[in-house]
Amino acid sequence: LLEDYRKISVERRGIEEKDFFTSQQVKECMMKVTPCVLEETVVIAPDFEIRPYYAGHVLGAAMFYVRVGQQSFLYTGDYNMTPDRHLGSARCDRLRPDLMITESTYATTIRESKRWRERDLLNQVSECVRAGGKVLIPVFALGRAQELCLLLDAFWERTGLDVPIYFSAGLTEKANWYYKM
């Protein structure tokens, strides 16, 4: 992702490479990364440990429980407690951290149920396609595109629609490769 971000910023947006990191710096950065296995504790020092957990949000998303001495915290970006078609729900041990740090874009948003939102989307797509129209649905490449393709494919099978589904290549195609692993 760092290399994709660099390419978009430097090559497409025209940011001077001297004002941004290079491909070589991305490679050097990645050499310093120590991979962690989900649900396995990594001891950094006698009184300092980290334990990653599956976040269930997008492919590769993780939550991190960190303990230093007697203090602990759980750090996560988005997490999902409801399984999707393409990913399971977040899972972690029963923890009692002193602090939890999390992303909260939709923390106070009350939305219709996922089932209702999906039914509404499928009805609108079906109406448009059956009337000879075309539907364009912009989605994030990582996660939502896969979820949407699975939803549409199941609906197509159930209803007998025989219309091709296309998605933009690039990151979506790369993500699909990892989902197939």
Give 120-130 pLDDT, tens digit per residue.
999 999 999 99
The one catalytic residue among 3, 11, 39, 103 = 103
**Which has more confidence, 66 or 30?**
66
Indicate whether 44 pLDDT > 70.
yes
pLDDT-derived band at 76, boundaries 50, 70, 90: very high
Of 82, 47, 80, residue with least CA distance to 62: 80
**DSSP code per residue over 20-73:** S--HHHHHHHHHT-----TT--EEEETTEEEEEEE-SSSTT-EEEEEEETTEEE
Amino acid at 86: H
Neighbours of 116 (CB within 10 A): 10
- Is there a catalytic annotation at residue 11? no
Most confident of 12-16, 76-80, 92-96: 92-96
| Full-model pTM | 0.66
What is the DSSP pairing of strand 71-76 with strand 99-102?
parallel
Retrieve residue 170's tokens: 């690039």
